[in-house]
Amino acid sequence: MGAHFPLTAPPEHYYRYIGQDLPRPKLYDEAERPDHAYVRMYARRSDYDAHFNGSADLQRALAGYFGLVSFLDEQIGKILTVLSETGLADTTRVIYTSDHGDNLGARGLWGKATMCQESAGMPMLLAGEGVPVGAVCATPVTLCDASAAILDAVGASEAISELGLPGALLDLANQPSQNRTVLSEFHTYGPDAFYMLRTLRHKYVCYVGAPPQLFDLEADPEELTDLGADPAHASLRAAFEARLRAILAPELVDQQAKADQARTAEHYGGFEMLRRREKMAFTPPPTAERP
């Protein structure tokens, strides 16, 4: 069980929340939702919200998600308890992270597939030897940064330089927040890709085939005001675009990603087979028999 649709939480966790007045998601009402080409397309294709019949259904969905999060917290607590009981807590480093978050109704959206903080943001919690207790570091990081920390923890630190891996989570955790730039990209949901550059203060999203987005996270941490078309921020957007294109060519990389997806789909039976299986609630392993 995870914090994921169909949002079915164990009863003891679901009923912790269903009776509460849970906060309404931001920009949830129709009139508040962003008027952006990609956001509109994603809302149409991932239309969970269209099946809700009023505020009671919304509250049930939120209670299910919160209940699943509490269920996960309980499992993590069991692991930490065993580490303590076996005397391994002081010599074990723990990293808690995930692959993405969930829009959870914000902007009328559910699931992932956006670069909003609710979706693209992920937990990155560290504990154990060499990790400062109770410290909060706002330096942007990605999952790529976790590899070096894991290798170091298991005594394989020589592989970090051999493989040329990025990231130094422990170093970052022990320093003040840095204005570091991280990249995220997405090639699967719409017809074209989008890319995000995140610094300590700003988030820039470049869409292939749609207008860019820009958010000032210092002045607007909830990402309520899109500066993607604001003339006053044109030079900042241009600087971010130049920085992105110095890393990669957005259009070319998207073409390469789509070609790789097509080759992989063909290897496992083709897109038609995948479409027949798309209503399944899980991804079959590569060794699964083809239908």
Q: Is the pLDDT of residue 285 over 70?
A: no
Half-sphere exposure of 161 (CA within 13 A, CB side): 2
92 HSE (CA, 13 A, CB side):
14
97, exposed or middle or buried, with CB in 10 Å at 0-12, 13-18, 19+?
middle
pLDDT band at 50 (very low <50, low <70, confident <90, very high): confident
Domain spans of the chain, in order of start: 140-167
What pLDDT does 166 receive? 75
Whether residue 39 has pLDDT greater than 70: yes
Residue 287 has pLDDT above 70, yes or no: no
Q: In the prediction, which pLDDT does 82 show?
A: 96
**Three-state secondary-structure class, residue 200:** coil
Predicted pLDDT of residue 56: 93
Q: What's the mean pLDDT when you consider all of the chain? A: 90
Chain centroid to Cα 226, Å, comes to 19
Taking only the tens place, the pLDDT of each residue in 109-160 is: 999 999 999 999 999 999 988 889 999 999 999 998 888 889 988 888 889 8
CA distance 51 to 46: 11
What are 198-207's pLDDT values in tens digits? 999 999 999 9
The pLDDT assigned to 170 comes to 84
**pLDDT (tens digit, 9 = 90+) per residue, 243-265?**
999 999 999 999 999 999 899 98
Lowest mean pLDDT among 132-146, 158-172, 213-227, 234-248: 158-172
Q: Per-residue pLDDT for 291 more than 50?
A: no
From CA 185, how far away is CA 194, in angstroms rounded?
A: 6
Q: What is the pLDDT of residue 45?
A: 87
